[in-house]
Structure 1
Amino acid sequence: MATKVLYVEDELFLGKIVQESLESRGFEVVMIDDGARVMASFDSFLPDICLLDIMLPNRNGYELGADIRQRFPTLPIIFLTAKTQTEDVLKGFTSGGNDYIRKPFSMEELIARIHNLLNLSGQNAIETGGEQNGIIHLGKYEFDLRKYELRLQTQIRKLSHREAELLKILADHRNFTVERKMIMQQIWGDDSFFNSRNLDVYITRLRDYLREDERVQIITLKGVGYQFIVD
Structure 2
Amino acid sequence: MEQLKVIFVDDDIHLGDFVSNILESEYNYKVHFQNTTIGIKPIIEDFAPDVIILDVEIGDQNGIETAKDILTRHPQIPILFVSSHSEEELITRGIDVGGNAYIPKPLSIPILVSYIKRFTSNIPVEQSLIISDYRLELESNNLYYKNRLLKKLSYFEKNALEILIQNPNQIVSKEQLAEKLWGHSLEKRNIASIQNTLSKLRNLINQNKSIKIDTVRGVGYLLVV
| TM-score using structure 2 length | 0.57
- 1:56 paired with 2:58, answer yes
Matched, 1:111 2:113: yes
| Alignment length (residue pairs) | 159
The residue matched to 1:83 in structure 2 has which SS?
Answer: coil
**94, 101, 104: which is aligned to 2:103?**
101
Equivalent residue of 1:44, what SS? helix
Q: Quick one: distance in 2 between partners of 1:185 and 1:122?
A: 30
Using the alignment, how far apart are the partners of 2:118 and 2:192 within structure 1?
Answer: 14
Question: Is the 2:92–2:190 contact (alpha carbons within 8 Å) kept by the matching residues of 1?
Answer: no
Q: Check whether the contact 1:36–1:58 (CA below 8 A) recurs between aligned residues.
A: no
Quote how far apart the aligned CAs of 1:96 are. Answer: 2.6
DSSP 3-state at the match of 1:29: strand
Cα distance in 1 for residues equivalent to 2:66 and 2:124: 23
1:65 and 1:77 in contact (8 A); partners too = yes
- Show the counterpart of 1:76: 78
Give me the whole-angstrom Cα distance separating, in 2, the residues matched to 1:85 and 1:195: 28
For residue 43 of structure 1, report the CA deviation from its aligned partner. Answer: 3.1
Moved over 4 A (4+): 120-123, 160-170, 181-190, 194-197
d(CA) in 2 for partners of 1:38, 1:195: 43
Displacement after TM superposition at 1:166 (Å) = 6.2
Q: Report the CA distance between 1:42 and its aligned residue.
A: 1.7
Shift in alpha-carbon separation, 1:43–1:35, aligned structure 2, 3 A: same
Hey, what does 2:18 align to over in structure 1?
A: 17
Query: Within 1, Cα distance between the matches of 2:115 and 2:66?
Result: 20
Q: 1:9-40, CA deviations, whole angstroms, 9 ceiling, x for partnerless residues?
A: 11011111111111121111100111112122
Distance change (3 Å), C-alpha of 1:188 and 1:98: farther
C-alpha separation in 2, matches of 1:4 and 1:48: 5
Q: Which residue of 2 aligns with 1:7?
A: 8
Q: CA RMSD in A?
A: 3.7
Matched residue, 2:138: none
Q: Matched residues in 1 for 2:219 and 2:122: separation?
A: 21
Q: Structure 1 length as normaliser, TM-score?
A: 0.56
Q: Quick check: 1:76–1:121 contact (8 Å CA) kept in 2?
A: no
Deviation, 1:180, is 2.3
Contact 1:98 1:186 in 2 (8 A): no
From 184, 187, 205, the equivalent of 1:180 is 187
Corresponding residue number in structure 2 for 1:92: 94
Residue of structure 2 in register with 1:39 after alignment: 41
- From 18, 28, 34, give the equivalent of 1:26: 28
Q: Structure 1 residue 79: deviation in Å?
A: 0.5
Q: Is the 8 A contact 1:116 1:169 kept in 2?
A: no
Contact 1:184–1:196 (CA under 8 A) maintained in structure 2: no
Q: Counterparts in 2 of 1:80-229, with a 5 A limit?
A: 80-119=82-121, 180-181=187-188, 197-198=218-219
Q: Distance in 1 between matches of 2:8 and 2:216?
A: 32
Task: Answer whether contact 1:36 1:59 (CA < 8 A) is retained.
Answer: no
Worse-matched range after superposition: 56-65 or 178-187: 178-187
Question: Partner of 1:31: helix, strand, or coil?
Answer: strand
Aligned residue for 1:42, secondary structure, equals helix
Please report how far the alpha carbon of residue 105 of structure 1 lies from its aligned counterpart in structure 2 after TM superposition: 2.4
Q: 1-side partners of 2:58 and 2:217: how far apart? A: 33
